[in-house]
Amino acid sequence: GAGVSQTPSNKVTEKGKYVELRCDPISGHTALYWYRQSLGQGPEFLIYFQGTGAADDSGLPNDRFFAVRPEGSVSTLKIQRTERGDSAVYLCASSHRTGGNSYNEQFFGPGTRLTVL
Protein backbone atom coordinates (compact mmCIF):
# COMPACT_ATOMS: atom_id res chain seq x y z
CA GLY A 1 0.00 0.00 0.00
CA ALA A 2 0.96 3.64 -0.15
CA GLY A 3 3.46 4.90 2.35
CA VAL A 4 3.86 8.35 3.86
CA SER A 5 4.21 10.98 1.18
CA GLN A 6 5.55 14.52 1.47
CA THR A 7 5.39 17.44 -0.88
CA PRO A 8 7.29 19.20 -2.22
CA SER A 9 10.42 17.05 -2.22
CA ASN A 10 12.54 20.20 -2.48
CA LYS A 11 11.75 23.79 -1.60
CA VAL A 12 14.04 26.77 -2.10
CA THR A 13 12.95 30.06 -0.61
CA GLU A 14 14.37 33.41 0.36
CA LYS A 15 15.01 34.60 3.88
CA GLY A 16 11.89 36.14 5.36
CA LYS A 17 9.41 34.24 3.19
CA TYR A 18 6.61 31.94 4.35
CA VAL A 19 6.59 28.23 3.45
CA GLU A 20 4.19 25.32 3.82
CA LEU A 21 5.24 21.68 3.81
CA ARG A 22 2.67 18.94 3.35
CA CYS A 23 2.48 15.41 4.73
CA ASP A 24 0.09 12.64 3.68
CA PRO A 25 0.22 9.85 6.28
CA ILE A 26 -0.58 6.20 5.77
CA SER A 27 -4.34 5.78 5.57
CA GLY A 28 -5.85 4.97 8.95
CA HIS A 29 -2.86 6.08 11.01
CA THR A 30 -4.09 8.28 13.84
CA ALA A 31 -0.69 9.54 14.96
CA LEU A 32 1.45 11.91 12.91
CA TYR A 33 4.89 13.30 13.74
CA TRP A 34 7.11 16.01 12.28
CA TYR A 35 10.90 15.91 12.64
CA ARG A 36 13.70 18.16 11.39
CA GLN A 37 17.03 16.74 10.24
CA SER A 38 19.90 19.17 9.85
CA LEU A 39 23.00 18.21 7.88
CA GLY A 40 25.08 15.62 9.70
CA GLN A 41 22.54 15.22 12.50
CA GLY A 42 19.82 12.79 13.41
CA PRO A 43 16.17 13.77 13.13
CA GLU A 44 14.86 16.02 15.92
CA PHE A 45 11.27 15.79 17.09
CA LEU A 46 9.10 18.85 16.41
CA ILE A 47 5.42 17.99 17.01
CA TYR A 48 3.05 15.04 17.46
CA PHE A 49 -0.63 14.89 16.46
CA GLN A 50 -3.14 12.39 17.73
CA GLY A 51 -6.09 12.81 15.40
CA THR A 52 -6.71 16.49 14.76
CA GLY A 53 -5.06 17.84 17.88
CA ALA A 54 -1.43 18.64 18.58
CA ALA A 55 -0.78 16.41 21.58
CA ASP A 56 2.84 17.49 21.99
CA ASP A 57 4.43 20.53 20.33
CA SER A 58 7.37 20.75 22.71
CA GLY A 59 9.91 20.34 19.90
CA LEU A 60 8.85 23.38 17.87
CA PRO A 61 11.86 25.72 18.07
CA ASN A 62 9.94 29.01 18.23
CA ASP A 63 6.65 30.67 17.34
CA ARG A 64 7.57 30.96 13.65
CA PHE A 65 6.79 27.26 13.36
CA PHE A 66 3.22 26.00 13.36
CA ALA A 67 1.51 22.82 12.19
CA VAL A 68 -2.08 21.80 11.58
CA ARG A 69 -4.01 18.63 10.86
CA PRO A 70 -7.59 19.85 10.48
CA GLU A 71 -9.25 16.58 9.41
CA GLY A 72 -7.01 14.14 11.20
CA SER A 73 -5.23 13.03 8.04
CA VAL A 74 -3.07 15.41 5.98
CA SER A 75 -0.85 17.75 7.96
CA THR A 76 0.83 21.00 7.00
CA LEU A 77 3.94 22.40 8.67
CA LYS A 78 4.07 26.17 8.32
CA ILE A 79 7.17 28.30 8.77
CA GLN A 80 6.89 32.08 8.89
CA ARG A 81 9.70 34.59 8.26
CA THR A 82 12.12 31.83 7.29
CA GLU A 83 15.75 32.10 8.36
CA ARG A 84 18.86 30.49 6.88
CA GLY A 85 19.09 28.30 9.98
CA ASP A 86 15.75 26.72 9.07
CA SER A 87 17.44 24.95 6.15
CA ALA A 88 17.08 21.22 6.79
CA VAL A 89 15.19 18.11 5.72
CA TYR A 90 11.74 18.03 7.28
CA LEU A 91 10.49 14.51 7.90
CA CYS A 92 6.98 13.31 8.56
CA ALA A 93 6.06 9.97 10.14
CA SER A 94 2.80 8.25 11.00
CA SER A 95 1.78 5.34 13.20
CA HIS A 96 -1.18 3.42 14.60
CA ARG A 97 -0.52 4.80 18.07
CA THR A 98 -3.72 4.82 20.12
CA GLY A 99 -2.43 6.19 23.44
CA GLY A 100 -0.69 4.84 26.51
CA ASN A 101 2.95 3.96 26.66
CA SER A 102 3.17 1.09 24.19
CA TYR A 103 5.25 1.90 21.13
CA ASN A 104 3.80 1.67 17.64
CA GLU A 105 6.25 1.73 14.73
CA GLN A 106 6.61 5.06 13.03
CA PHE A 107 6.74 4.97 9.23
CA PHE A 108 8.70 7.82 7.71
CA GLY A 109 8.18 9.76 4.52
CA PRO A 110 11.02 10.71 2.17
CA GLY A 111 11.22 14.24 3.55
CA THR A 112 11.15 17.76 2.17
CA ARG A 113 14.53 19.43 1.72
CA LEU A 114 14.11 23.12 2.59
CA THR A 115 16.80 25.57 1.55
CA VAL A 116 16.57 29.16 2.75
CA LEU A 117 18.80 31.51 0.78
Partner 1 sequence: GDSVTQMEGPVTLSEEAFLTINCTYTATGYPSLFWYVQYPGEGLQLLLKATKADDKGSNKGFEATYRKETTSFHLEKGSVQVSDSAVYFCALSDQGGGADGLTFGKGTHLIIQP
Residues that bind partner 1 (CB under 8 A): 3-4, 33, 35, 40-46, 48, 55-56, 58-59, 91, 93, 100-103, 105-106, 108-111
Q: Please, what is the minimum distance in Å from the beta carbon of residue 49 to partner 1?
A: 10
Q: Please, what is the minimum distance in Å from the beta carbon of residue 13 to partner 1?
A: 23
Q: Please, what is the minimum distance in Å from the beta carbon of residue 17 to partner 1?
A: 26
* Nearest residue (CB) to partner 1, 41 versus 80: 41
* Nearest residue (CB) to partner 1, 25 versus 43: 43
Q: Of the candidates 80, 77, 85, which has an alpha carbon nearest to the alpha carbon of residue 117?
A: 85
Q: Please, what is the minimum distance in Å from the beta carbon of residue 55 to partner 1?
A: 6
* Nearest residue (CB) to partner 1, 66 versus 108: 108
Question: 100 burial class (0-12, 13-18, 19+ CB within 10 angstroms)?
Answer: exposed
